[in-house]
A and B are shown apart, each in its own frame.
Chain A
Amino acid sequence: MSYIRSHVLFSNDPTILAQGGVEVKHTLLDEIKKHNLVDEVEVIDTPRIGDSKSGPEFIVYPEGYHYVGLQAADIPFLVEEQFLKGRVVEKFLAPATKEKTQELGAPTPKEVRVVLRNCGTINPENIEEYIAENGYAALAKVLTEYTPDDVLEIIKASGLRGRGGAGFPTWLKWNLTKKAEGSPKYLICNADEGDPGAFMNRSVLESDPHSVVEGMVIAAYTIGASQGFVYCRAEYPIAVKTLNIAIEQARNYGLLGEHIFGTDFSFELEVRKGAGAFVCGEETALIRSIEGKRGEPYPKPPFPATQGVFGKPTNINNVETYANIPQIIFRGAEWFASMGTEKSKGTKTFALAGDVKKTGLIEVPFGITLREIVYDVGGGIKNDKGFKAIQTGGPMGGCLPASYLDLPVDYESLTSAGSMMGSGGMVVMDDETCMVDIARFFMEFTQAESCGKCVPCRVGTKRILEILTRICDGKGKDGDIETLEMLCSQIIEDSLCGLGKGAPNPVVSTLKHFRDEYEAHIYEKKCPAKTCKALIHYSINPENCVGCTLCARNCPVNAISGSPKQTHVIDPDVCIRCGICSQVCNYDAVVVT
C-alpha cells in the first residue's frame, strides 16, 4: 500500500491554465515520475483559485506552502528542493501580505458552510473523498429506513425553501409532484445559473457535484421519479465535465441507475447543456429547451409538478436546494431549522461582486444584515470609498441604498424592501457609480435576454432602454421619469414570466432611492457620479498644470493643446472623455465636472 506523504493541490482554474498552467502541470507530473515519487507525492486538481494574476500555482500539504507564478522551467528545481530535500523554496512562495482575490477563501467568522462545506477540500473527481465526508450516508438511510412520506416530513420540518430565488417551500413542491398523476415522473436540476455575478452553483457543481447527485436521488425516491436531468448552462464547461464524471462514478458504485443500494429503487440521471439563453433559467423555458424547442416560457397553471417536461409530472429545483438535502437528512431537520430566521431557515450562499474588498463566495445563515455582509464578511468597500448601493437578486433585483444596510437578509425582508433574494448575486457599488447608468446596464441585459414572446416584455423593455440611454446621453426630457414609472408598472403587471415581471425592478428601485440622480441627468444635464460620458467635462486646472505635455502626448484624439511649461487646454468638442489624461497626469491637474 502506498503512503502518500505529500499532497499537491494544483489549481486548474481556466484562467490559470491559460497562463501556462498546462505545461507546468505536465512538467510537475513528469518530474515526480522521474524521481520515483509517484507513490509518495499525489497531485490533485482543485478548482480553488488564488489571485489569478499570480499565474500557475499549487499548494503543498501538509505544510501549506502556496507556490505561485510558476513556469515549466521552475519545476525541476522546485520538485527537487521541496519533495526530495524537504526544503521550501521561498522565491516562489505567494507573498503573505498581498491581498488576494479568491473565489472561495477560508470562511470568515460570520459564515456557516453547509452547501460549500466540501468546496476546495475534496477532489470532486473522486467519489471516495465525498464518501469519506459522510457522502451518500443520507441516501443509504433514506432508502433503507424511510418511506417517501417520512422524507417529506423531514424536509417540511427543516423549513427548506427553494434556493433558486422564489423561495417556494421545497417539501410542498415535492408533495405536489408526488401526488400528481402521470408516469414516468421526472426530476430536473436547474443549473442554468445565468444571473451575472452569481457563481455559487458553478462552484458547487465543480467542487462538490456528488452533493447535488445525492440530493437528486433522494428527491427522486420521494416523488417517484425514474429519470432526471441536470440542465447546466454551456458557459460552465468544467461543471459539465465534473458532473458527468460524478454521475458515471456514482453509477459504478451502485448509487445511481438500476437497483440503487440493492433496493427496488432505480433512477437515471443525465446532463443537458444549455446554449446561451438566460431565459432558460425560468423553469418552463428550461423545460421547453430540454424538449428541443425555443426556450420560451409558457403560462402557469399548469405547473410543472402536474405537467412538466414531455407533459409529465416534473419537479424542478435549484442546485443549492438539492445540495442541502443530504445534510438535512444526515444531521436532522432540527439542526437545519436552528439556523436562520422564523420563515427563512438554514443558510444561503451569496456571490459578492463589485466594489467590495473581498469578492467571492460566502455562505451565511439567514438573518445576517447587509452591513455585516458588506463590511464584516466582504471587508468593506474597495479603496475605502463610500458605499452607495447594493443590488441583490441578480439583474431583476432592486438596488438598495445605505439606509437599508441594517436589513436582515431573508426572503420576506428583501421583497418588502423592493428587491429580492434571487439566486444570491450581490453587486456592491461605491460612490463613483452612476445609478442611472446601472439601471440602463441591467435593462440592456434583460432586454437582450427577453425571449420575445409577450408584448409587455419584448416592447416595453426596449422602450425603457431607449429612454434610459437618451438620459445617459444627455438627451433626457421632462416627462421621461413619469413615462418610465408608467412603463415599469405595466410591464410588471402584464408580462408572462418572471423575466418580464422582474426586468423593471432595477429602474423602479433606482427611481425610488436615487431619483435626484435622474433629475440631475435630465434637468441639469449633469452626472453626479461623473460617469456618463456625455455629461462630464474634462478640463485642466491652471493652478496645478506645469505644462509637462504628458497629457497632450497621450491624448488619443489630440484634444489637448499647449506649449511646454505653459498651461494646457482641452478642447471640449474633440474630447471623448476617455480619461487617459487624468490617468497620466502627475500633478492632479485634470478636473472632471
Chain B
Amino acid sequence: MASQTEIADNITEIVQSALEYYGKKEEELIPILAKVNRDLGFLPQEALEEISGELKIPKSKVKSVASFYHMFSTKPLGRHVIKFCENAPCHVAGGREVWNALQQATNLKVGETSADGKWSLLTTSCLGLCAVGPVMIIDEDVFGNLTADMIPDILSRYE
C-alpha cells in the first residue's frame, strides 16, 4: 500500500504534467482537470489545491468547476466503472430491465462503489449510440444491444 507521501508525490507529478501539457492559463482549467481526472481516476482535494495555486484561481472556483461537470469525480471510484445510459431512447428500447439487472448483479445503487472497491455504478449522458441501445460502458469498453441476461456474463469478464 503506497504511503501518504508516495500518493502525494504521485498527485503532484500528474498535476504538473497536465499543467505543462496545456499551459498554465485559466481557460485551460477544464482540459487540465480532465487529464488529471483520467490519470488519477478522480480529482482528489490535493490535486484541486495544487491546480488552484499554479493557475492562481481561488480554490473555491476550481472546486466549483470540478463539481459542475458530470465526467469529473471528486470521490475515488472502483477499479471498474460501469456507466449505464439511462436516457429515453435506451430506456424505450428495454433499458429499464437491463438497469435492474445491473443493480442486482453489482448490489449497488446509482453513484455507489462496492465495499471491495471493484465496481462503481454510474449513469452516463447519452453516448449517441442509440441505434444499438440499451448501451453501457465499462471502463473504455462499450456494450450495445444489451438484454438483462447478458449482464452476469459481461461483468464476469472483469477482475
Task: Encode A184-216 as 1/0 by CB contact (under 8 A) with B.
Answer: 000000000111111100100000000000000
Task: Please give, as numbers and ranges, the residues of chain B lying within 8 Å of A293 by CB-CB distance.
Answer: 29, 65
Contact A49 B131 (CB under 8 A): yes
Chain B nearest CB from A204 CB (Å) reads 11
Instruction: Tell yes or no: A410 within 8 A of B by CB.
Output: no
Q: CB within 8 A of B128: which of A235, A355, A359, A441?
A: A235
CB distance from B125 to the nearest CB of A (A): 6
Asked whether A277 lies within 8 Å of B69 as measured between CB atoms, the reply is yes
User: B68 contacts which chain A residues (CB < 8 A)?
Assistant: 277, 294-295, 451
A83 CB, min distance to chain B CBs, angstroms:
30
A354–B128 touching, CB < 8 Å: no
The answer on a CB contact under 8 Å between A441 and B125 is no
- On chain B, the residues within 8 Å of A425 by CB distance are 89
Tell whether, in the assembled complex, residue B88 and residue A196 are in contact, meaning their CB atoms are under 8 Å apart.
yes
Which of A51, A194, A292 lies in contact with B26, CB distance below 8 A?
A: A292
Residues from chain B with Cβ under 8 Å of A353 in the complex:
88-89, 92-93, 130-131, 133
Q: Which residues of B contact A295 (CB under 8 A)?
A: 68-69
Report which of A234, A235, A445 forms a contact with B88, defined as CB distance below 8 A: A445
**Complex: A354 Cα to B32 Cα, angstroms:** 37
Q: Which of B27, B28, B100, B126 contacts A197 (CB 8 A)?
A: B126
Which residues from A are CB-within-8-Å of B89?
Answer: 196-197, 353-354, 425, 427
Question: How far apart sit A232 and B34, CA to CA, in the bound complex (Å)?
Answer: 14
User: In this complex, which of A18, A236, A291 has the most chain B Cβ atoms within 10 angstroms of its Cβ?
Assistant: A18
CB distance from A294 to the nearest CB of B (A): 4
Residue of A with least CB distance to B100? A578
**Given A199-B129, A234-B71, A294-B68, are A429 and B31 neighbors across the interface (CB < 8 Å)?**
no
Closest-by-CB residue of A relative to B104 is A556
B residues less than 8 Å from A278 (CB atoms) = 125
Q: How far is the CA of A459 from the CA of B158 in the complex (A)?
A: 41
Please tell me which stretch of A268-276, A300-308, A514-522, A540-548 contacts chain B, meaning at least 4 of its Cβ atoms lie within 8 angstroms of it: A268-276
Q: In chain A, what residue has the closest Cβ to B33? A: A275
Given contacts A195-B126, A198-B128, A277-B68, contact A291 B27 (CB under 8 A): yes
Q: Are A235 and B127 touching (Cβ within 8 A)?
A: yes
Interface string of A358-396 (1 = CB under 8 A from B): 011100000000000000000000000000000100010
- A566 contacts the other chain (Cβ, under 8 Å)? no
Task: State which size class the interface on A falls in.
Answer: 35 or more
* Distance from B109 Cβ to chain A, minimum over Cβ atoms (Å): 15
Q: Which of B6-14, B74-82, B113-121, B137-145 has 4 or more CB atoms under 8 Å from chain A?
A: B137-145
Q: Do the beta carbons of A101 and B132 come within 8 Å of each other?
A: yes
- A277–B70 contact, CB under 8 A? yes
Q: When A52-B144, A52-B145 are in contact, do A199 and B33 touch as well, CB less than 8 Å?
A: no
A438 on the B face (CB < 8 A):
yes
Q: Is the CB of B30 within 8 A of A275?
A: yes
Interface residue B52 (Cβ < 8 Å from any Cβ of A): no
Instruction: Check B70–A292 contact: CB distance below 8 A.
Output: no
B residues near A233, Cβ cutoff 8 Å:
125
Interface residue ranges of B12-28 to A (CB < 8 Å): 25-28
Q: How far is the CB of A266 from chain B (nearest CB, A)?
A: 21
- Residues of B85-121 at the interface with A, using a CB-CB cut-off of 8 Å, are 85, 87-93, 97, 100
Contact call A354/B92, Cβ cutoff below 8 A = yes
A108 CB to nearest chain B CB (Å):
15
- List the count of A-B residue pairs having beta carbons below 8 Å apart: 139
Residue from B26, B33, B92, B97 in contact with A427 in the complex, judged by beta carbons closer than 8 Å: B92
Cβ contact within 8 Å between A292 and B88: no
> Which of A102, A194, A292, A359 sits near B125, CB closer than 8 Å?
A194
- Per the bound structure, the CA–CA distance linking A235 and B133 in Å amounts to 15
Q: Is B4 an interface residue (CB 8 A)?
A: no
Which one of A14, A194, A197, A354 contacts B142 once the chains associate, using CB atoms below 8 Å?
Answer: A14
Nearest CB on A from B132, distance (A): 5
Q: How far is the CA of A105 from the CA of B133 in the complex (A)?
A: 17
Please state if B124 and A292 are interface contacts (CB–CB under 8 Å). Answer: no
- Distance of A529 Cα from B143 Cα, bound (Å): 29
Q: Nearest-CB distance from B134 to chain A (Å)?
A: 12
- Beyond A193-B128, A275-B72, whether A395 also contacts B88 by CB under 8 A is yes
A53 CB, min distance to chain B CBs, angstroms: 5
- Residues in A whose Cβ lies below 8 Å from that of B143: 15, 18
Quick check: B130 and A292 within 8 Å, CB to CB? no
Whether, in the assembled complex, A284 has its beta carbon less than 8 Å from a beta carbon of chain B, the answer is: no
The answer to the question of B3 belonging to the interface, with a C-beta cut-off of 8 Å to chain A, is no
CB distance A103 to B34 under 8 Å?
Answer: no
* A411 contacts chain B at the CB level, 8 A cutoff: no
B64 in the interface (beta carbon within 8 A):
yes
Q: Nearest chain-A residue to B65 (Cβ)?
A: A294
CB nearest to A277 among chain B residues:
B69
- List which A40-69 residues lie within 8 A (CB) of chain B: 49, 51-53
Q: A197-B130, A275-B69 are in contact. Are A292 and B30 (CB under 8 A)?
A: yes
A15 and B129 contact, CB distance less than 8 A: yes
Nearest A residue to B70 by beta-carbon distance?
A: A276
Chain B residues with Cβ under 8 A from A551's Cβ?
none
B68 to chain A, nearest CB (A): 4
- Chain B residues lying within 8 Å of A310, measured Cβ to Cβ, are 27
Chain B residues, CB < 8 A from A102: 131
Contact residues in A for B92 (Cβ distance below 8 Å): 353-355, 427, 429, 433
- Contact B31–A272 (Cβ < 8 Å): yes
Report whether B88 and A441 are in contact in the complex, using a CB–CB cutoff of 8 Å.
Answer: yes
Task: Judge whether B27 and A290 touch: CB under 8 Å.
Answer: yes
Question: Chain B nearest CB: distance from A94 CB in Å?
Answer: 15
Instruction: Please state if A276 and B88 are interface contacts (CB–CB under 8 Å).
Output: no
Taking CB as reference atom, which chain B residue is nearest A233? Answer: B125
Measured in the bound complex, the distance between the Cα atoms of B34 and A275 in whole Å is 7
A-B contact pairs, 6 of them (CB 8 A): A101-B145, A196-B90, A198-B128, A275-B69, A275-B72, A445-B87
Task: Give A residues with C-beta under 8 Å from B.
Answer: 14-15, 17-18, 49, 51-53, 101-103, 193-199, 202, 233-236, 272-278, 289-295, 310, 351, 353-355, 359-361, 391, 395, 425, 427, 429, 433, 438, 441-442, 445, 451, 578-579
A-B contacts besides A15-B135, A451-B68, 4 pairs, CB < 8 Å: A194-B126, A197-B126, A293-B29, A578-B100
